[in-house]
Amino acid sequence: MHLVAIGGSDAGISAALRARELDPHSDVTVVVADAYPNFSICGIPYYISGEVTHWRNLAHRTTAHLEATGMNLRLDTTARRIDPGGRKLLVTGPGGEELLGYDKLIIGTGAVPVVPPISGLSGPGALGAGDGVHLLHSMSDAFALMHTLTENSPASAVIVGAGYIGLEMADALVTRGLPVTQMEQLPEVLPTVDPELGALVHAELTGHGAEVLTATTVTQISRAEPGSPARLTVEATTAGGQAVTRSADTVLVVVGVRPDTGLAASAGAALGARHAIAVDRQMHTTVPGIFAAGDCVVTYHRLLGETYLPLGTTAHKQGRVAGENALGGTKEFAGSLGTQVVKVFEHAAARTGLRDHEARAAGFDPVTIGSEADDHKAYYPGSHRIAMRFTGDKPTGRLLGVQMFGHRHAEVAKRIDIAATAIFHGMTTDAISDLDLSYTPPLGSPWDAVQIGAQAWVRQSGSPVSSPAEHPGR
């Protein structure tokens, strides 16, 4: 068996590791477009902030470790074209063009940053890293930004976008001592949670000195006029039509990603949601002998069906499934719930499952209830309040989604994991109170915060109390 995986990030490496684990005699080659296989792209903001002291520390595994598993890494090698009939892959590497034969192929090309329609970002004379304008999605992007920060010593920064990466970069740049202005087109920051929690994130940003401009659409980024104290000018318009202008020495544009599907599509692979590669739950594409996984493929969501939801955790799981099935297995990807968490200075925001409008669009009859609880017994020093929003299906009581915001030491991430586990297994909100969770006053309460939030939903929703067995998951 000769297995070739394209992509050296989460999906490609996970696939290769799983194949070598199952069959140590399999011939596994991983084609990596750069020199940084298995690096944590999610860790880049903490390298930028200085909290991760060296970029090499972002490697999940070193190149030597990966090669010790028996895989063949082809670094600085770009996949150019797939010949599905001949089962060959054309690549360009340090030695020039080469054809690699394969028995099975796994595409893990990931995603690329969205370049919004902002004047100055594309076309002739477009601004780039040398001008202090950066996208952020790869190790090369990280090095370019670090060069700007260390060599040019910018005195100010504008961040376009206030999603997960935008918020983490606001944290990172403020930690480095830069004045930061964050501009978000939507009405509130972190639009993947309800505005009630987004407002708490907003307050955390402003409380640490960042200027936050929501409902503000950036229209142009240009070089500043000669004699200006800053290198760049950012022009924007508010939802009410008011012009907004800010000067900055560096601008970071982080408004999301799109699946990188050109290679797969040119080989005849069908596309699905958001133009991502269509795959079944075993990660087969529509082309015989070719699998795909990670940020380039559609996502099976346990409550929504097919969608597109690029997450590192999902890519690892999908890659593992693809690697196993490329060797003849029948493993299925169990599905995502979109479970996410982000640290913003001293607090964290998290979500899993569906929000009210998402649940309604999916055919549920949702009710969303907000509540608060202490992270541990208030009489023990250092307790923090956690703000929560529970979404459940009123007719059945089924838990559909949970959102949380609390102090970074309030175990928000682990508590959202409890909710994710409950949703994964189709539990009712009422049944959350039956979970046997740990308790000691410095760390929790006899009723954990998750259970208090669930009980608030049961009291206020008007939903009938029922057991999980009465309403199994879809």
Contacts of 241 (CB under 8 A, 6+ apart): none
Q: Take residue 458 and report the two structure tokens written for it.
A: 């049961």
- pTM as predicted: 0.94
Q: pLDDT, tens digit, for every residue of 177-216?
A: 999 999 999 999 999 999 999 999 999 999 999 999 999 9
- Please list the ranges in the chain whose pLDDT falls under 70: 466-474
- Cα(395)–Cα(366) distance, integer angstroms: 9
Identical fold at 2-112+257-326 and 347-470? no
The per-residue pLDDT for 463 is 86
Any idea which residue has 């608060």 for tokens?
Answer: 372
Amino acid identity, residue 78?
T
Domain 2-112+257-326 has CATH 3.50.50.60: yes
Domain ranges for the chain: 2-112+257-326, 129-253, 347-470
Judge whether 453 and 390 are in contact, CB under 8 Å: yes
- Cα(2)–Cα(10) distance, integer angstroms: 20
The per-residue pLDDT for 360 is 98
Judge whether 262 and 81 are in contact, CB under 8 Å: no
The per-residue pLDDT for 169 is 98
Per-residue DSSP letter, 121: S
The per-residue pLDDT for 103 is 98
Beta strands in 152-214 (DSSP E): 157-160, 180-183, 211-213
The per-residue pLDDT for 468 is 45
Residue 388, H or E segment = strand 385-393
The per-residue pLDDT for 466 is 59
Domain 347-470 has CATH 3.40.640.10: no
Count of all residues that appear for the chain in the document: 474
Topology (CATH) of 129-253: FAD/NAD(P)-binding domain (3.50.50)
Neighbours of 73 (CB within 10 A): 19
